[in-house]
C-alpha cells in the first residue's frame, strides 16, 4: 500500500511539475513578447535606413551602424531575411515552455533570456521555487527507478547470483544502456535534424544533461531548417529522462 | 587540501583550453577584421546581398564570441584569466556560454574536464556547506551557554544565518556590480541569483566589458563569492527540500 501511495505521490508531483512549467511559460511569454517585437522592428528599420542611404554615409556612420548591428545581435535579434521574421517569435508558447524548462533544470542555455526587468524578476522567483521542485521530482523518479533495480537484483539473487556481482552488473547495465540511449542515439538523431556532426551532437548531449548548458548549440535554432511540430517537446522529454537517469546513477 | 586540489584542477583546465582555443580565435578575429575593412573601403558599392552576408558573418562571429569594437575586435577572450573563469563556469555547471570552445579538441577536452570536474566541485561544495553548518551550530552552542536560552535558539540562529547569507550573497554583491559593471541594482541581483543557482544564462557576465577597467582582485573575489554562495544556496535548497518531503 505504501508503494501505491508513493507512486501516486510521484505522479501528482509530476503533474504539478508540468503545470508549473506551463504557468511559467505563459507568464514569460506575456512579459517578453512585446518587447521582443519592438526590438525586431527597430533592427529592421535600422537595416532599411542603412540600405537606403549607404552611398551617402560617412565612415563614422558606418562604424555606428556596425555597432548598432552588433548590439542588436547581442540582444538576440537577428535582422536577416525579410518581413516573415516578425511572425515567428522567440517567445511563442512552445519556446517559452522550453525556456521555463531550462530555467528549472538549471541548464540555462541563454540563447533565449528575459530582457524586461519584469521578466528577469519573475525568472528569479520562478527559479527559486522551480529548482527545488525539479530536484524533488527527479529525486523521486530516481528512487522509483532504483526500486525497480532492486527488484531486478532480488530476482537475480534468487536465481543464485552473488550480491556483489548483482550490484556491479546492474550498475554497469544502467550505465551502458544510459550512455547508449541518452548520449549515442540522440547524437545520431541530431545529425539528421540539426545537421551537426556526430561529435558535436555528443558534445551538445553532454553539456545539456550535465546542466552546464553553454548555449553554443541549442536544438531548433537554425534559421534555415524546418523542424517537425513536436521536435522541441520530444527533446524536452529526452532531457527530462536523461536527468532522471543521472539522478538514478547517483542513487545507485 | 581539497581547496588546493580544486584550484589546481581548474588551473590545469584553464591552461589546456587556452592552448587549444587561442589560435583559432585569433584567426577568426583576423578574418572578421579583414571583412570589416574591405567593406569600409568599398562601401559606396554595397548592395543588399553583401550586407546580408556581412550580417550573417557578424552573427557567426558573435556566436564564436568575437564582436567588432571600433577598430579592433574583442580578442583575448581565451587569455589565462578568461580560460580560468571558463573552467570554473564549466565545473560548477553554471555554463555562461559567452565563451565556449570552438575547436573540436577543445570540446572533447571540455567534456572530459567536466566529467571529473563536476563531481570534484560537488564534493568541495558539500565540504564548504558542512563547514558553514558547523560554524552556525557552534555559534548556536555558544549563545546557548552564554544566555541560557533553550531550543528556540536553534530556529533563531538558523534564521539569522539565512539572513546573513542572503545579505552577503544576494543583496550586497549587486551594489559592487553596479559600481564595477554599471548594471542597475535589479540587474545585479538577477545576475547573482542566476549565477549562484548555476542556471547561468550568460546574458550578464562580469568582467567582459571592454570599455571598463577592473581591479586585479576583482575576478578572484568573484570566484570565491561564487563558490561560497553556491554552497550556501545549496544548503538553503537542501533545507527547502527536507521541509517539502
Which pLDDT belongs to residue B71?
Answer: 46
Q: Which residues of A touch B110 (CB under 8 A)?
A: 203, 207
Residue B229 touches partner A, C-beta closer than 8 Å: no
Q: Which residues of B touch A213 (CB under 8 A)?
A: 93, 95, 97, 200
Q: Assign residue A195 a region: left if phi > 0, alpha if psi is -120 to 50, beta otherwise?
A: left
Mean pLDDT of A105-119: 81
Residue A222, all three cell numbers: 537554425
Q: Which residues of A touch B94 (CB under 8 A)?
A: 108, 212
Mean pLDDT of B139-159: 72
Mean pLDDT of A155-176: 78
Residue A100, all three cell numbers: 521555463
Which pLDDT belongs to residue B1?
Answer: 65
Domains in chain A, please, with CATH?
Answer: 135-251 (1.10.287.70)
Q: What is the pLDDT of residues A207-239, one digit of tens each?
A: 899 888 888 888 877 666 666 767 777 788 888
SS3 of residue B72 by DSSP: strand
Residue B240 touches partner A, C-beta closer than 8 Å: yes
Domains in chain B, please, with CATH?
Answer: 72-244 (1.10.287.70)
Q: Assign residue B228 a region: left if phi > 0, alpha if psi is -120 to 50, beta otherwise?
A: alpha
pLDDT band at A189 (very low <50, low <70, confident <90, very high): confident
Q: What is the pLDDT of residues B121-133, one digit of tens each?
A: 888 888 888 888 8
Rounded distance between C-alpha atoms, residue A61 and residue A233, angstroms: 44
Average pLDDT, chain A: 77
Residue that wins the pLDDT comparison between B205 and B23: B205
Residue B210, all three cell numbers: 571592454
Contact B188, B174 (CB under 8 A): yes
Q: Is pLDDT at A59 greater than 80 in this prediction?
A: no
Rounded distance between C-alpha atoms, residue B228 and residue A109, angstroms: 23
Kindly give, in sequence order, each residue whose CB lies less than 8 Å from that of residue A125, ignoring residues fewer than 6 positions away: none
SS3 of residue A113 by DSSP: coil
Residue B153 touches partner A, C-beta closer than 8 Å: no
Long-range contacts of A41-46 (CB under 8 A, 24+ apart): A41/A86, A42/A72, A43/A69, A43/A72, A43/A77, A43/A79, A44/A79, A44/A85, A44/A86, A46/A72, A46/A79
Q: Is pLDDT at A202 greater than 70 in this prediction?
A: yes
SS3 of residue B68 by DSSP: strand
| CA closest to B101 among chain A residues | A216
Q: Work out the minimum CA distance from A211 to partner chain B, whole angstroms.
A: 6
Residue B203 touches partner A, C-beta closer than 8 Å: yes
Which pLDDT belongs to residue B107?
Answer: 83
DSSP letters spanning B95-149: ---SS---SHHHHHHHHHHHHHHHHHHHHHHHHHHHHHHHHHHHHHHHHHHHH--
A213–B95 CB contact, under 8 Å: yes
Residue that wins the pLDDT comparison between A53 and B177: B177
Q: Is the ipTM of this complex over 0.85?
A: no
Q: Is pLDDT at B45 greater than 60 in this prediction?
A: no
Q: Work out the minimum CA distance from A160 to partner chain B, whole angstroms.
A: 35
Average pLDDT, chain B: 76
Amino acid at each position: 500500500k505504501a508503494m501505491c501511495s508513493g507512486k501516486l505521490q510521484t505522479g501528482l508531483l509530476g503533474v504539478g511539475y508540468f503545470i508549473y512549467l506551463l504557468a511559467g511559460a505563459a507568464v514569460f511569454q506575456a512579459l517578453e513578447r512585446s518587447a521582443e517585437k519592438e526590438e525586431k522592428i527597430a533592427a529592421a528599420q535600422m537595416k532599411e535606413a542603412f540600405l537606403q542611404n549607404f552611398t551617402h554615409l560617412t565612415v563614422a556612420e558606418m562604424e555606428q551602424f556596425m555597432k548598432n548591428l552588433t548590439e542588436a545581435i547581442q540582444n538576440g535579434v537577428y535582422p536577416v531575411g525579410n518581413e516573415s521574421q516578425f511572425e515567428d517569435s522567440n517567445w511563442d508558447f512552445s519556446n517559452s515552455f522550453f525556456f521555463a524548462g531550462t530555467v528549472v533544470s538549471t541548464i540555462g542555455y541563454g540563447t533565449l533570456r528575459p530582457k524586461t526587468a519584469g521578466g528577469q524578476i519573475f525568472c528569479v522567483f520562478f527559479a527559486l521555487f522551480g529548482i527545488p521542485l525539479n530536484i524533488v521530482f527527479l529525486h523521486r523518479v530516481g528512487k522509483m527507478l532504483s526500486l525497480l533495480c532492486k527488484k531486478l537484483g532480488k530476482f537475480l539473487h534468487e536465481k543464485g547470483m552473488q550480491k556483489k556481482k548483482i550490484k556491479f552488473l546492474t550498475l554497469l547495465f544502467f550505465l551502458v544502456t544510459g550512455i547508449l540511449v541518452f548520449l549515442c542515439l540522440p547524437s545520431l538523431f541530431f545529425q539528421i535534424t540539426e545537421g551537426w556532426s556526430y561529435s558535436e551532437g555528443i558534445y551538445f548531449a553532454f553539456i545539456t544533461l550535465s546542466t552546464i548548458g553553454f548555449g553554443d548549440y541549442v536544438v531548433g535554432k537554425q534559421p534555415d531548417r524546418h523542424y517537425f511540430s513536436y521536435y522541441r517537446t520530444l527533446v524536452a522529454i529526452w532531457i527530462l529522462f536523461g536527468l532522471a537517469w543521472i539522478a538514478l546513477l547517483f542513487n545507485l | 587540501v581539497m581547496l588546493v586540489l580544486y584550484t589546481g584542477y581548474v588551473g590545469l583546465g584553464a591552461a589546456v583550453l587556452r592552448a587549444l582555443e587561442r589560435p583559432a580565435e585569433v584567426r577568426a578575429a583576423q578574418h572578421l577584421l579583414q571583412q570589416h575593412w574591405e567593406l569600409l573601403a568599398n562601401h559606396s558599392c554595397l548592395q543588399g546581398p553583401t550586407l546580408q552576408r556581412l550580417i550573417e558573418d557578424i552573427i557567426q562571429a558573435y556566436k564564436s564570441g568575437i564582436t567588432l569594437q571600433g577598430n579592433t575586435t574583442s580578442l583575448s577572450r581565451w587569455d589565462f584569466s578568461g580560460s580560468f573563469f571558463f573552467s570554473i563556469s564549466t565545473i560548477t555547471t553554471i555554463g555562461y556560454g559567452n565563451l565556449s570552445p570552438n575547436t573540436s579538441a577543445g570540446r572533447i577536452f571540455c567534456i572530459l574536464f567536466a566529467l571529473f570536474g563536476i563531481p570534484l566541485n560537488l564534493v568541495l561544495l558539500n565540504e564548504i556547506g558542512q563547514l558553514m553548518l558547523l560554524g552556525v551550530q557552534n555559534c548556536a552552542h555558544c549563545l546557548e551557554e552564554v544566555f541560557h536560552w533553550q531550543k528556540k535558539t536553534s530556529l533563531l540562529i538558523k534564521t539569522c544565518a539565512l539572513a546573513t547569507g542572503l545579505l552577503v550573497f544576494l543583496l550586497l554583491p549587486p551594489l559592487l556590480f553596479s559600481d564595477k559593471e554599471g548594471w542597475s541594482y535589479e540587474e545585479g541581483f538577477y545576475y547573482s541569483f542566476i549565477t549562484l543557482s548555476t542556471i547561468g544564462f550568460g546574458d550578464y557576465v562580469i568582467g567582459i566589458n571592454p570599455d571598463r577597467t577592473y581591479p586585479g582582485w576583482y575576478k578572484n573575489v568573484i570566484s570565491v563569492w561564487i563558490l561560497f554562495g553556491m554552497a550556501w544556496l545549496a544548503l538553503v535548497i537542501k533545507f527547502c527540500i527536507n521541509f517539502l518531503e
